[in-house]
Amino acid sequence: MSTATLQRRPLVRKILAGADDNLLVIAGLGSSNWDITEAGDRPLNMPLWGGMGSTVPMGLGLALAQPTKRVLVITGDADLMMVVSALATVAAQQPDNLAICVLDNEKFGETGNQASHTSPRNNGPTNSGAGTDLAMIAQGCGIADTGTVRKESEVAGLVNDLRKKKGPVFRLVKVMVEKLEFVMPPQDGAHLKDRFRQALLGRA
Amino acid sequence: MNVATTVDWRDQIFEVFQDHDIKQVYHVPDAGHSRLIEACQKSNSIRTLALTTEEEALGLAAGAWLGGQRSVTLMQSSGVGNTINLMGLTKTLRFPFLTLITMRGEPGEFNSWQYPMGQGTPKVLEAMGVLVMSVDKADAVKQTVDHALRSAFNGGQAVAVLLRQKLIGIKDFGKKTA
């Protein structure tokens, strides 16, 4: 049984409020993509439509290439689980400008809300997961600054940590299961990449 | 020791990396690439990242390119299979990608477990639209890698260079290890 009360859309709007040219955002496929787009599509957002498992590595490659910018990865629990060992690669590099925010609804949302591995174990025959704790995994991979956020009262601190605290920062946020409108950015990956580079580097 | 007479092809690859302003190099542990990996690790101008799986390289390379840096990925043929779905990112995002692949499972290979992926490597890369180049002679390595870098970063292609087992040497536990 999920006890999450945080709603992902207002949360992501707060995380991205006042985003300027110093904030580079990568979002994983599916809900996280629609979330950052609902908060306001911008050239320095890279919302993925596929490439499951590549979100954290993409944030790391970008953070190392742009050490003076803040890089924020926003993604779901299942995207991270697909190449969860990428957290160890992040820990090995210790990028001080990288923050990772995992929106964990304990479901495979895009395919019909089946229980994901982060769901509790004894949750009935069709809704049980493994009780996987991604913050603990991040800690075990060597990321020292990890935490789990469940309550509205913790959101202001979360936003500050993701936007400003010395990285690598990892935050797991338990969010509600909701049926939300799809808010879609452009789909053409080459266009998304080119507009990002144009805004950041002045050339596509 | 006469260093002037022979320049090792692995050292030539490192020189070509520097000529082409490579800033990030990704690798998994690999005996065939070990000398090149060490040269990159010692370099001040290259950030060298050890990966847990070759899959990470595609996201990393895309992220580096988004941030204006060039990367190269070093892997073994057995790792190619791990990358295939994410290799599609090179088409959807249309970003330059270069991987140098040390081959296993070619004629002479002693380990039967290496044959399936080794023999499948050029086929699956081609199926994903990767431009596949190949080199089996030491004196051709420098130019091949140079051309591959031009195709990737000037021509915007995803490119793989197969460093053939004939070039690297057939692994034989009786003669050498690792």
Q: Where are the domains of chain B?
A: 9-168
| Domains in chain A with CATH codes | 8-201 (3.40.50.970)
CB A53 within 8 A of CB A6: no
**For residue A82, with 0-12 CB atoms within 10 Å meaning exposed, 13-18 middle and 19 or more buried, which class applies?**
middle
Residue of B nearest to A80 (CA): B56
How many CA atoms are closer than 13 Å to the CA of A93, on its beta-carbon side? 31
**For residue A76, with 0-12 CB atoms within 10 Å meaning exposed, 13-18 middle and 19 or more buried, which class applies?**
buried
Query: pLDDT per residue over A71-110, tens digit each?
Result: 999 999 999 999 999 999 999 999 999 999 999 999 998 8
Q: Do A85 and B52 touch (CB under 8 A)?
A: yes
How does residue A179 score in pLDDT terms, banded at 50, 70 and 90?
Answer: very high
How does residue A3 score in pLDDT terms, banded at 50, 70 and 90?
Answer: confident
Q: Do B59 and A56 touch (CB under 8 A)?
A: yes
Query: pLDDT per residue over B87-126, tens digit each?
Result: 999 999 999 999 999 999 999 999 999 999 999 999 999 9
Q: Residue B15: name the closest of B7, B27, B26 by CA.
A: B7
Which of B47, B59, B93 minimises the CB distance to A57?
B59
Residues of B in contact with A65 (CB under 8 A): 23-24, 63-64, 66-69
Q: Do A86 and B24 touch (CB under 8 A)?
A: no
Residues of B in contact with A196 (CB under 8 A): 66
pLDDT at residue A1, as a whole number:
46
Query: pLDDT per residue over A34-50, tens digit each?
Result: 999 999 999 999 999 99
To the nearest whole number, what is the mean pLDDT of chain B? 93
How does residue B171 score in pLDDT terms, banded at 50, 70 and 90?
Answer: low
User: Which residues between 6 and 25 in chain B have a beta carbon less than 8 angstroms from any beta carbon of chain A?
Assistant: 23-24
∠B92-B26-A83 over CA atoms, to 5°? 65
CATH class given for the domain over B9-168: alpha beta
Kindly state whether B29 is in contact with chain A, defined as any CB-CB distance less than 8 angstroms: no
Query: pLDDT per residue over A119-162, tens digit each?
Result: 999 888 888 999 999 999 999 999 999 999 999 999 999 999 99
Distance from CA of A122 to the nearest CA of B (A): 31
Rounded Cα–Cα distance for residues A176 and A2 (Å) = 8
Which of A55, A88, A192 minimises the CB distance to B59?
A55
Q: Which residue, chain included where needed, has tokens 């260079």?
A: B161
Rounded Cα–Cα distance for residues A174 and A190 (Å) = 32
Predicted TM-score (pTM) of the model is: 0.95
Which of B47, B49, B63 minimises the CB distance to A62?
B63
Q: Phi and psi (nearest 5°) for A52?
A: -55, 130
Strands A114-115 and A107-108: antiparallel
Query: pLDDT per residue over B37-65, tens digit each?
Result: 999 999 999 999 999 999 999 999 999 99
Query: pLDDT per residue over A54-74, tens digit each?
Result: 999 999 999 999 999 999 999
Q: Which of B56, B70, B85, B97 to mutate to test the interface with A (most CBs of A within 10 A)?
A: B56
Q: What is the DSSP string of chain B?
A: --TTT---HHHHHHHHHHHTTEEEEEE---TTTHHHHHHHHH-SS-EEEE-SSTTHHHHHHHHHHHTT-EEEEEEEHHHHHHHHHHHTHIIIII--EEEEEE--SSTT---GGGHHHHHHHHHHHHHTTPEEEEE-SGGGHHHHHHHHHHHHHTT--EEEEEE-HHHH----TTT---
Does residue B1 have a pLDDT over 70?
Answer: no
CB B108 within 8 A of CB B165: yes
pLDDT at residue B22, as a whole number:
98
Residues of A in contact with B51 (CB under 8 A): 89
Distance from CA of A130 to the nearest CA of B (A): 23
How does residue A197 score in pLDDT terms, banded at 50, 70 and 90?
Answer: very high
Q: Do B60 and A60 touch (CB under 8 A)?
A: yes
Task: State the SS3 of chain A.
Answer: CCCCCECHHHHHHHHHCCCCCCEEEEECCCHHHHHHHHCCCCCCEEECCCCCCCHHHHHHHHHHHCCCCEEEEEEEHHHHHHCCCHHHHHHHHCCCCEEEEEEECCEEHHHCCEECCCCCCCCCCCCCCCCCCHHHHHHHHCCCEEEEECCHHHHHHHHHHHHHCCCCEEEEEEECCCCCCCCCCCCCHHHHHHHHHHHHHCCC
R_g of chain B, CA atoms, integer Å: 15
Read off the amino acid at residue A35: D
R_g of chain A, CA atoms, integer Å: 16
Which of A53, A58, A201 minimises the CB distance to B62?
A58
